[in-house]
Amino acid sequence: MHTATHPTTTTLAASPQPAQQVAVFFYGSFMRREVMAKGGFAPETIEVARLGGFDIHIDPHANISRSGQHAVYGVLVLATHADLQRLYSMDGIGVFLPQAVLVETEGGKLQPALCYIPPARGNQPADRGYLAHLVSAARGYGFPGWYVERLESFAH
């Protein structure tokens, strides 16, 4: 007589998985650690990165648009979708939509990332207080001199 053996099934208890992080490129307020902290976000690492094919505008706050002649500097971080939801729902942030972009790190590595871009440009002069913080952050991260000068030009 042949006895068939049946594999036993084991039910594994579902263990919570850590929230998945995505690469995100910040070019405005969220480059500043203190602004990220207001949204309850403290990235483990912050890496300077360059987004080619876009130009920055300050009207009254930072936004970007496609341009074949320019590049935007900012920072690359890893964040969860919950982190991003908290940041972009903070008072005064406005409407930004996530777009997939390809940034280049200081080390020359190409990195796919999300970048939040407003659906339309503003039509106001630069907020000088905001701009001063943005220029200070750009200097602190060691962005190229020409880019810092570009940011400063929005004060005029």
DSSP codes joined into one string, 28-57: SGGGSHHHHHHTT---S--EEEEEEEEEEE
**Does some domain include residue 83?**
yes
Q: What is the CATH number of the domain that holds 67?
A: 3.10.490.10
Domain total of the chain: 1
pLDDT at 15: 56
**Does some domain include residue 12?**
no
**Does some domain include residue 45?**
yes
Q: Mean pLDDT per 10-residue run, the chain (156 residues)?
A: 50 65 98 96 97 96 95 98 96 92 97 95 90 98 98 94
pLDDT at 87: 97
**Does some domain include residue 34?**
yes
pLDDT at 122: 79
Q: What is the residue range of 77's domain?
A: 21-155
How far apart are alpha carbons 53 and 101 in whole angstroms?
10
Phi/psi at 58 (nearest 5 deg)? -120, 100
pLDDT at 14: 59
Whole-number Cα distances in Å, 49 to 7, 29, 78, 92, 134: 52, 15, 13, 25, 15
CB-CB contact of 23 with 113 (8 Å)? yes
